[in-house]
Amino acid sequence: MPKFSKDGAKKIGGLVIASIGLAVILFYALVLAGCTSGSPGMSNLFLVKLHKAGGKLLTGTAGNATAGNGTLTDLAANVTIRIGYFGMCTSIGSGSLNCSGTYSHDGTQISTSFLPQNDFSTVTLFNLASHIQSKVFVFMLAVSAVIFLSSFVVLIALQFDIMRNSSSSAAYKRRFFLKKGFKNLVWISVGLNIAVSAGAQQAAEALQWLSDVRNGELLITSGATLLGLQWAIVAFSMIFALGSRLIYNQKPAQTIEQNFETKDGVMAF
């Protein structure tokens, strides 16, 4: 194959890999921002949904719930709470959703931010939602996102370094460590994301199963969209890691071996 064809294929491959990396970052942002905003996309991204059944059906917004005669009633009845990693969305009856960031807030603070009037049952329900958010679904996905973003930055730095086309010993050594750093970061991110996604999937399904078995007033439903996005992140992250390895894992030329050698005598990725 002519040299220009190889270079063209590498450039196209690099653009594809960069696009996949950007898609992964976008997916991370969507998952972590779930239920922090009332927009249709964000409010539908939740880990689990709690619904307190029973009582008189309420109408109106989450902050202005009224019964049919216009008077406030038991706010714990017919309350629905969608729980994301850092936010929650609440609705009462068929009312509209009210969403806000809630991480590290207790039930009293959350219920006050969503509802102008509260009782013991309402605070208890929001305490449960806060416990599920902070104790069951921990924020390790955010750690995985930071690590992946770091690997993406390292890959960009590596690409710019390669574009300089320097043949000095310092340049070869720098590229070697950039490649090693990228490989370590991206695979740590993939492994951590697999663990978090599997744990979140199992926890959500366990909560839903427990709710179904108890058949009580509190109904719990897992959020298929957000959980599916997490597995999409796993898949695209692995494609990104493997594709980057194929593009940048090239055997060094004789000059590279003379200027910088590893323990095995080959600068491998």
Q: Which two tokens stand for residue 168?
A: 């000095």
pLDDT of residue 72: 41
User: Residue for token digits 């917004």?
Assistant: 61
Which of the pair, 209 or 161, is modelled with greater confidence? 209
Rounded mean pLDDT of 179-205? 94
Structure tokens at 139: 């924020």
| One domain, residues 60 and 188 | no
Claim to verify: residue 28 and residue 76 sit in the same structural domain: no
Between CA 200 and CA 241 the distance in angstroms is 23
Question: What residues contact 213, with CB distance under 8 A and at least 6 apart?
Answer: none
Pick the closest to residue 24 from 186, 158, 154 (CA basis): 186
Gap between the Cα atoms of 76 and 173, Å rounded: 63
Residue 216 lies in a domain: no
Is the pLDDT at 3 greater than 90? The verdict is: no
190 plus 166 within the same structural domain: yes
3 state SS of 37: coil
User: From edge to edge, which strands make up the β-sheet containing 218-222?
Assistant: 98-101, 87-92, 79-83, 48-52, 218-222
Domain boundary among 136, 153, 184: 136
Q: How do residues 108-147 score in pLDDT, each as one tens digit? A: 888 888 876 677 778 888 899 999 998 899 889 999 999 9
What pLDDT is attached to residue 76? 66
Out of 136, 156, 188, a domain closes at 136
CA distances from 60 to 57, 180, 182 (A): 10, 56, 51
Let me know whether 124 and 150 are in one domain.
no
Q: Is residue 191 part of a domain?
A: yes
Helix axes of 169-214 and 224-248: crossing angle, nearest 10 degrees: 160
For 57, residues 6+ apart whose C-beta sits below 8 A from its C-beta are 67, 77, 78, 93, 94
Please state the rounded mean pLDDT for residues 152-177: 84
Stretch 83-103: mean pLDDT: 87
In this predicted structure, the answer to whether residue 58 has a pLDDT above a threshold of 50 is: no
Element (H, E) at 101: strand 98-101
Q: Same domain, yes or no, for 63 and 185?
A: no
User: Phi, psi (5° rounding) for residue 51?
Assistant: -135, 120
**pLDDT mean across residues, the chain:** 80
The mean pLDDT value for 166-176 works out to 82
β-pairing, 98-101 vs 218-222, is unpaired
- The structure tokens 């991206």 sit at 186
Same domain? 192 vs 66: no
With a cut of 80, say whether residue 261 has pLDDT above it.
no
CA separation, residue 260 to residues 22, 174, 176, 267 (Å): 32, 10, 9, 8
Same domain, 126 and 147: no
Q: Which of 94, 92, 107 is nearest to 62 (CA)?
A: 92
**171 and 244 fall within a common domain:** yes
What is the domain range of residue 157? 3-34+138-201+224-259
| Residues near 177 by beta carbon (within 8 Å), at least 6 away in sequence | none
pLDDT classification of 269: cutoffs 50, 70, 90: very low
Which of the residue ranges 16-20, 23-27, 71-75, 237-241 would you say has the lowest mean pLDDT?
71-75
